[in-house]
Structure 1
């Protein structure tokens, strides 16, 4: 029987569905916020869609993570009548869903006019720019996420307060915790193998119930697919175990935020060698890697809403909690926004540590890559590397990051670099979606405000 990983073509996709005797398959794609949306589709409809595409109502490009409709975008809205948007199915994304009795999942991406706004399509266009420059792109993402002994119902009954983490106390890298809960860890590892987002390493992080998982490196588009599926199906697996997983950037002021670090490297298409590795230079940093770092550093403030996409993202970016506050870089320095990891031809890379767990993997990877490519194109040089604790040092004002989602969105839409690398349609639409997110937040009264002002003011 055909293995899902061997599916590459339309014919392969049809063959594996027939071999498994499936009457339906699952089809999904990712929206602005990195949320996977989709449906079960009959075999006949799926076979037709493989050849001719199909359509989703374009409202999924025009609403937020709570299904509330944007009122400030041009592509879709009441003014367009919410027509269908065309979608292509990607046979090579075939996965088996292990707990659905042989069910297959295929991913799709928007096409035609909607492709300009599609997160996966946006990343693919940036990768094509790297290809034109003579580079193959490789990436890997790693995520921190909290697990709770809660269900969607219990969390809402509690008003998302006083939630019970899977495990108590601060206990990073704990063999005790991962041995006691080994059944869950093995389920995660097995899920990664079956669904082709293999886990390179997984361990407890510092904080109650927090886990960190590193996904194995792959070509950039595959790395983003793996990360997006990882986030989706970790939440599915948790709920099937009467647990909940959250990838919020910061769910409590008492604990560190949750990161979504991005590891990137370039290899020369001409000879297959690392474009980042030069053993004759200090820390093996090649000229190309130096320019790449410079681009990431200089443009980090402009690409920030793709890396920190929610109001909550900015609660994580404070000193002393393992999240950077300025666009700094250093060698093996975890207090900086960019961490150069010296190694061999195989392992020389840069870690974009600013990324938070709530980011859409396609867009965060696109931002990290696009900004680096701009550095190569313009042959920029980075600022002096930071040595020691970056939080305790003064940095150039140009390296300061916007402190709110609104400010980040303004910088993003005014940037010539974002427009040249991502396209005007995407920049305008995505900036509007982040402005909407901030406006929605302003409508609500927080617990902090009630506690601070209700009686005293």
Structure 2
């Protein structure tokens, strides 16, 4: 919808009774308020306490540290509906709509630390240079049997054959067909929300699927990933199973990534600036890769945001743990897919599907931007495998957070306030994790130490 008049007509035509006004928090969880459609208009005042953006994934409030501080007044933030995101909520029985909201402070100024605004800030840096980034995410996820006790490992679900799904089903049509009714619901729910799925495949893990989205504007694609996650979870629940976007839900199986394809076009001409007029690679293309190599280790906490994320980023597994790049080389962190000059792009294979899409995109694009403006030259491209023990990345969450805080260039792109708040939350989540005794500790330490 372009304005409130169109929005009102759209809602009335569909008999919408309720509307969910939502915004992603730093974890990518939908927060907001539900209201009667009769109350939804341009004079509506919606507010959330700013503490919503200061609690961990487990709902706790960490101690102040570094740049992480609480608002002494715990004042309100305002939600401003982005009417272009207005859509049906197809899994609700009563006619319901949803709209993604921007967040501003009480004076109407955009907040610097909320996810949509962090990504918008990075896109603005590109615009200041006459550039526009274009992205296409690929989202992997697992279907798992319902699990009511977190002390027990997750298990693959049963498909339509009645048998528990096994691994090794990469690109298997039969593997997809095991869940054809669920997938039909995913497509139907997506169509009703205006979400466009490019392709869907079965990945290597048991009941591990991947959805590819068409390329487009970073903010619009982040919105789509945000809404897709809700959609897929709801469709799975309808069929009595869970959909999980954990980076590593099953021990010994492949993790789930959110690969990001990235290119940049000239705002005036629409031409891909990664290619010269004669089709050859441009300096900006090389510098974008150089920026990814230089800065991604410092930004990894935004692409691998939890302790579990680093279980996926393990040598010898299907995920790269390096900063190498190469042509059509899936062992590198930054792969250059086979394409013509107009579609020349860089695939970042490091982000996990557990990452907040707004923040993962902001971090990845910021690294490429810094490479272009600082003219950073990349290393030579890798010819063979580079995922054979080489580790160029932080191996855990605290190390990744420290690297993020130590890089002033990223704070300049993302905002120092965001970096301080995000780092404080991640440290708080790590301390919560450390309070849990794992099965490994009981297995090997209980009677041996």
User: What's the TM-score once normalised by structure 1's chain length?
Assistant: 0.91
1:37 to 24, 31, 37: 31
- Structure 1 residues 410 and 75 mapped into 2: Cα distance closer, same or farther (>3 Å)? closer
The reply on whether 1:384 has 2:380 as its aligned counterpart is yes
Q: What are the equivalent positions in structure 2 for 1:115-134 lying under 5 Å apart?
A: 115-134=111-130
The gaps in structure 1 that reach 5 residues or longer are 1-6
1:53 CA drift (Å): 4.4
What's 1:276 paired with? Answer: 274
The residue that corresponds to 1:67 in the other structure is 59
Correspondence for 1:295 among 291, 296, 309 = 291
User: How far 1:81 sits from its partner (Å)?
Assistant: 4.8
> 1:135 & 1:114 partners in 2: Cα distance?
22
Map Cα deviations across residues 37-88 of structure 1 (whole Å, 9 max, x no partner). 22321234321xx3464211222111112211222267764x7353322221
Distance in 2 between the 1:243 and 1:327 partners? Answer: 36
SS of the counterpart of 1:110? strand
Q: Answer yes or no: is 1:108 the counterpart of 2:86.
A: no
Q: Secondary structure at the match of 1:383?
A: coil
Out of 372-381 and 399-408, give the one that drifted further: 399-408
8 Å CA contact 2:26–2:53 kept in 1: the answer is: yes
* 1:93 to 2:90 alignment: no
Q: Distance in 1 between matches of 2:417 and 2:45?
A: 23
CA contact (8 A) 2:56 2:426 kept: no
Q: Give the superposition deviation at 1:123.
A: 0.0
C-alpha separation between the residues in 2 aligned to 1:162 and 1:265?
Answer: 37
Q: Could you give the per-residue CA deviations for residues 176-215 of structure 1, whole angstroms, max 9, x where no partner exists?
A: 1222322112211222222222111111111211111111
Describe the shift of the 1:191–1:285 C-alpha distance in structure 2 as closer, same or farther (beyond 3 A).
Answer: farther
**What residue in structure 2 maps to residue 207 of structure 1?**
205
1:421 aligns with 2:418: no
* 8 Å CA contact 1:134, 1:268 repeated in 2: yes
- Between the aligned partners of 1:176 and 1:42, the Cα distance in structure 2 is 44
Partner of 1:452: 444
Q: Secondary structure at the match of 2:84?
A: strand
Q: Between 335-344 and 259-268, report the one with greater CA deviation.
A: 335-344
**Partner Cα separation in structure 2 for residue 158 and residue 297 of structure 1:** 37
Please say if 1:338 is aligned against 2:337: no
Tell me if structure 2 keeps the 8 A contact 1:109–1:115: no
Query: Does 265-274 or 159-168 show the bigger shift?
Result: 159-168
Deviations 1:4-57, CA, capped at 9 Å, x for gaps: xxx12222222222333333211111001111122321234321xx34642112
Structure 2 residue 169 is matched with structure 1 residue 175: no
Give 1:308's aligned residue. 304
1:92 match: secondary structure: helix
Aligned residues of 1:302 and 1:408 also touching (Cα < 8 A): yes
In structure 1, distance between residues paired with 2:349 and 2:274: 18
Partner of residue 161, structure 2: none
Structure 2 match to 1:356: 352
Matches within 5 A, 1:190-269: 190-269=188-267
Aligned to 1:159: 151
Structure 2 Cα separation of the partners of residues 180 and 453 of structure 1:
41
Task: Give CA deviations for 1:228-253 in whole Å, capped at 9, x if unaligned.
Answer: 11112211211122110111110122
Instruction: Report the Cα distance in structure 2 between the residues aligned to 1:305 and 1:64, rounded to whole angstroms.
Output: 14
Q: Retained in 2: the 8 A contact 1:76–1:82?
A: no
- Please, which of 185, 188, 191 is the counterpart of residue 186 of structure 2? 188
Q: CA RMSD in A?
A: 2.0
> Could you tell me how far 1:345 is from its partner in structure 2?
4.3
User: Larger RCO: Structure 1 or Structure 2 (Cα < 8 Å, ≥ 6 residues apart)?
Assistant: 2
